[in-house]
Structure 1
Amino acid sequence: MSAPPRAGTFARNGYAEAFTIGLRPLTDPAAWLAPDTRLAANLAEKDALIAARRGDVFRARDNTLAAQTEALRLLAGHLPAAFPDVYRRDGADIAIGGTDKAVRIDEHDPAPLLTASRLVADDLVLMRKHDDGWRLVAASLCFPSYWSLAEKFDRPLAAIHAPVPGFAAGTRNAALIERMFDNLKPGTVVGRSNWSVHDNGGLFRPQPHPSHLFAGEDDMATLAKMHLRSEDQTLRKLPETGDMLFTIRVATDPMAGIFDHEGLAASLAARLRALGAAERDYKGLQSGRDLLADWLERGGP
């Protein structure tokens, strides 16, 4: 593998697709969870959160140990094989290049999903099929975007997505997601991207989504602090347990960096203009949407 790519919302291949929402098969499944240059920093922040706030960033049902172990085994096999210049197996340990970390792989690990999350920049979530749909039954979630693990843990997808316009229980979108989860075959990896606007670049954002990021349509002070936050998400079904492994990689960048990449500012401005009232409210952009779109269209201050 060549040197890891620079991470971040403005550097990803196909970034323009981040402003649309759609599920696509990974063109190269071997590149699943590929490390980037923010790996060391993200792992250090994860370790600090796990040490200080373990109950906030890790939860698991007692009956998920087999699925957690399967997920850890999957990552422990995939990462050194796919990215040998970053991950090196050394007996029971996996050493991570560019860091001083070595993660111990133990078949008797009491929290294997948490151990797996110490290998990658991504958050890891396990979903399980129940009579009321797919439920979040285990997660190592260090970088939530305006939601907390406590409020979503052990809840079905429809309840988790209830705040998202058009995805509440009984909607067509909710039914489509359930069907997609049901039909995904083990070995297939699918992904999607999501985006949001934040007033700072922090990764750990468990607080409720603000109803208004901007005080008004002339709030230039907030505009100067804006960051664009992206999530690269993947799904793959575990072949032994049938549970779903959902991964979330977060990156943030100051909004001003968007002008270094041709066409991206215009793409985001168009997406902002197209937001309906419910979407603007969900993203905290009932006010300030036009201010931000105008700024993007004219090329900054």
Structure 2
Amino acid sequence: MSFRPPTHTPYDGSSKLFTIGLKPLNLDSWIEVDEYLLPYLAEKRRLYAEIPGKVFVEEQTTREAQREVLDLLGAHLAANFPETHRRTDNAIEVIGGTDNLEGSGTSAPFSDAPLVAASLLVQEDLILMRRDESGWRLAAGSLCFPSSWSLIEKFGKPLQQIHAPVPGFGPGTRPADLINRMFDGLRGQAVERYNWSIQAGNALYHPLSNLERIDRASSRPSRFPDGDIDAHAFIRVERQTLRKLPVSGDILFTIRIHLDPLAVLERHRDRAALSASLAEQLLALDEAQLDYKGMTADRDRLTERLKVMAWGNNDPTS
């Protein structure tokens, strides 16, 4: 990843961790395309070939809704990104890319799934949520770039169980009830929110099962054992959107990952404000939140580095 300015900086205080933070979304801005389009798609094809069962799941009854997603994406991309996407006789393709799984080495039974085809047009991960008596459940999904969660563990589960490990969002909590009501109330208006974390390295595929999360929290290992935060720390920003599909009534949840080296803040024109805000929010996390984010062992080192970025050696809080 380059040291260009970050696309999104929700850690400036505009999108605090462990809040819902949904905002209306103009559909013209639904999907994001940047210079990393082809590398992201190449990584998706690699994951489909090597670990297909970990990055795609589906209920067979979702195929029509998957086709609806593919059609919506095709129309949106052709209209908004003619420099990267073009229509063929009966489909849409990425200019300069390979939009299918031919030559990828996979014979996965889902290779003809419309959601897979849709996922190979965009950098976003695509999750289909469907309503039944248990609530909104994860009915299908292409998740090549998970942010510390397992698609297999969440497949078929309703929102309350999906969010159970998140501090303050478990079944019966007010945030859990609010999220369900928001899903029920979603009509023609799309919404977006941001989430962020700090990880070691720039891997897009960053899974973590619930059992691994428990083991990590109990031992609380550092992710930067050599202490070189500048070399290894990356800010992982998730741009998430929700859109109700007009025909099926399912909800499409998109997740776009942006990875920026922590050191990019040092060259940012708003370096002091961004670094100070990020440090402040890390310091505000409680023990359960730190464990969930995997930052218990590294929070102090991260905040000290951010304070130096913000104020040099003249930290007003020391």
Contact 1:95 1:102 in 2 (8 A): yes
Q: Is the 8 A contact 2:73 2:118 kept in 1?
A: yes
Distance 1:70 1:162, change over 3 A: same
Aligned to 1:292: 302
Matches for 1:1-301 after TM superposition, within 5 Å:
10-12=6-8, 16=12, 17-19=14-16, 21=19, 22-26=21-25, 28-97=26-95, 99-102=96-99, 110-186=112-188, 188-207=189-208, 208-209=212-213, 210-211=216-217, 212=220, 214=222, 220-221=227-228, 224-261=231-268, 262=270, 263-299=273-309
The residue type paired with residue 120 of structure 1 is V
CA contact (8 A) 1:60 1:139 kept: yes
Counterpart code for 1:57: V
8 Å Cα contact 2:128-2:251 kept in structure 1: yes
Q: Is the 8 A contact 1:67 1:243 kept in 2?
A: yes
Tell me if structure 2 keeps the 8 A contact 1:18–1:230: no
Contact map agreement 2:55 2:144 (CA 8 A) in 1: yes
In the TM superposition, residue 7 of structure 1 has moved relative to its aligned partner by 10
Counterpart AA for 1:173: P
TM-score using structure 2 length: 0.84
Query: What secondary structure does 2:294 align onto?
Result: coil
Could you tell me which runs of 5 or more consecutive residues in structure 1 were left unpaired when the two chains were aligned: 1-5
Query: Which residue number in structure 1 is paired with residue 108 of structure 2?
Result: none
Rounded Cα–Cα distance in structure 2 between residues aligned with 1:141 and 1:229: 16
Give the drift of 1:198: 0.8
Contact 1:80–1:87 (8 Å) recurs in 2 = yes
Whole-angstrom distance in 2 between the partners of 1:215 and 1:151: 24
Which deviates the most, 276-285 or 13-22? 13-22
Amino acid at match of 2:281: R
Q: Counterpart of 2:76 in 1: which secondary structure? A: helix
**SS of corresponding position for 1:146:** coil
Measured after TM superposition, the shift of residue 47 of structure 1 is 0.8
Give the conservation status (yes or no) of the 8 Å contact 1:7–1:251.
Answer: no
- Following TM superposition, by how much is the alpha carbon of 1:74 offset from its aligned partner in structure 2, in angstroms? 0.8
Identical aligned residues as a percent: 44
How far did 1:285 drift? 1.9
- Structure 2 runs not aligned, ≥5 long: 102-110, 313-318
Runs of 4+ in 1 over 4 A off after TM superposition: 6-9, 18-21
Report the AA paired with residue 92 of structure 2. Answer: I
Distance 2:117 2:3 in 1: 23
Q: Distance in 2 between matches of 1:144 and 1:258?
A: 24
Whole-angstrom CA distance in 2 between matches of 1:215 and 1:88 = 42
Letter in 1 for 2:32: A
Letter in 1 for 2:38: A
User: Number of residue pairs matched?
Assistant: 288
Q: Return closer, same or farther for 1:233/1:118 CA change in 2, 3 Å cut-off.
A: same
